[in-house]
Amino acid sequence: MKSLEDIMAMAQNVQSELEKAQANLDAIEVEGVSGGGLVKVKASAKGRIIGIQIDDSLLQPSEKQMLEDLITAAINDTRAKADAASQAEMSKLSSGIPLPPGFKLPF
């Protein structure tokens, strides 16, 4: 059986690893697209929007509503990809932690 000191050291190590993983998420980039590539949104896996690219053909007043819809769709696509990248990164971390069966880390 592990001592309280061993458990505390493990907890501190887990906390440190979680902080590193969270920092890494901002360095992982994902790109969401809509309209067959007419609108692209780049974000970090942490959800920070890095940039938006809009095809010139959409920059007409008559295309305003479609452009707004495509931007919304591209952001949602990016968010889904960021969530997937974040989950994959965090599962790498949790795979090395000896946790009791059924215990889940809060991330």
Share of the chain above pLDDT 90, in %: 48
C-alpha distance from residue 34 to each of 45, 49, 77 (Å): 18, 16, 8
Q: What does the pLDDT look like over 61-86, one tens digit per residue?
A: 999 999 999 999 999 999 999 999 98
Contact criterion met (CB below 8 Å) for 84 and 65: no
> Average of pLDDT values for 19-41?
90
Contact criterion met (CB below 8 Å) for 10 and 65: no
The pair phi, psi for residue 49, each rounded to 5°, is -75, 125
C-alpha distance from residue 7 to each of 11, 13, 84, 96, 98 (Å): 6, 10, 31, 15, 11
104 three-state secondary structure = coil
Decide if pLDDT at 40 tops 60: yes
Strand pairing class (29-34; 49-54)? unpaired
